[in-house]
Structure 1
Amino acid sequence: MKLHTTAILLLFWLGIFTVHTVKGNTSGVSMRKFRCVNLSTKQLNIQNLINYERQRVPIDAVMFTTARGIRICVNPDQKWVQTAMKRIDARRAAKHK
């Protein structure tokens, strides 16, 4: 009887440990990353852009984030895109001074 109770308690604690470990691991997983699969041909208002991310796979693109949180993918070879990236970099550098 005593061995039976010990086995049940051991299984119970093993179950608690497993649930706690799995829960801890899943909470550390980062969110799914957005990827560009097609490009916008529209020129965006540079003043509304707050961030960008360069991407090379699956296509070469720059993903801009607007002040409203909208993500828009564009061709990085366009002149206005390069200008917008430089302005965002300059704003970042000014903030960190």
Structure 2
Amino acid sequence: MKLHAAAILVIFWLGVLPVHTVEGSASSQSMRKISCVDLSTQQLNIRNLISYEKQQTPVKAIMFITKKGIRICVSPNQKWVQTAMKKIDQKRTTKRR
């Protein structure tokens, strides 16, 4: 009887494992998009910023990405944000040449 129960559990486990793996990888791809909800009010050191992304929803924001990979959301209306975006764009065009 114990062997019969163990065989059923193994068959069940083998049947569930591939389905769980496929669902996990598909759902994790949809979760990769990070969006801003709260905005930081502090000015960041421009030298530590390597990239940015513009966002329109759920709030209008700029998401800066630091050298360490940290993502920080700020209001696009601030003057220092516009300056930082221009400097990042200039670095990108310089590297492409």
Amino acid at match of 1:71: R
Based on CA coordinates, which of the two structures has the bigger radius of gyration? 1
Q: Please list every run of at least 4 consecutive aligned residues from structure 1 whose deviation after the TM superposition is greater than 3 angstroms.
A: none
Question: How many angstroms apart in 1 are the aligned matches of 2:85 and 2:30?
Answer: 25
Deviation string 1:40-71 (CA, Å, 9 cap, x unpaired) is: 00000000000000000000000000001000
Specify whether residues 30 and 49 from structure 1 end up closer, same or farther in structure 2 by C-alpha distance, changes over 3 A only.
same
Match of 1:83 in 2: 83
Question: How many angstroms apart in 2 are the aligned matches of 1:30 and 1:56?
Answer: 18
Question: How many angstroms apart in 2 are the aligned matches of 1:59 and 1:30?
Answer: 20
Match of 2:59 in 1: 59
Question: How many angstroms apart in 1 are the aligned matches of 2:73 and 2:50?
Answer: 14
The offset of 1:30, in angstroms, is 5.7
Amino acid at match of 1:87: K
Match of 1:11 in 2: none
- Structure 1: 5+ residue stretches without partners: 1-18
What secondary structure sits across from 2:65 in the alignment? strand
Deviation string 1:3-28 (CA, Å, 9 cap, x unpaired) is: xxxxxxxxxxxxxxxx8xx69x94xx
TM-score, normalised on structure 1? 0.70
Question: How many angstroms apart in 1 are the aligned matches of 2:48 and 2:85?
Answer: 12
Specify whether residues 30 and 94 from structure 1 end up closer, same or farther in structure 2 by C-alpha distance, changes over 3 A only.
farther
Amino acid at match of 1:58: P
How many pairs does the alignment contain? 78
Q: Once superposed, what is the RMSD of the aligned Cα atoms?
A: 2.3
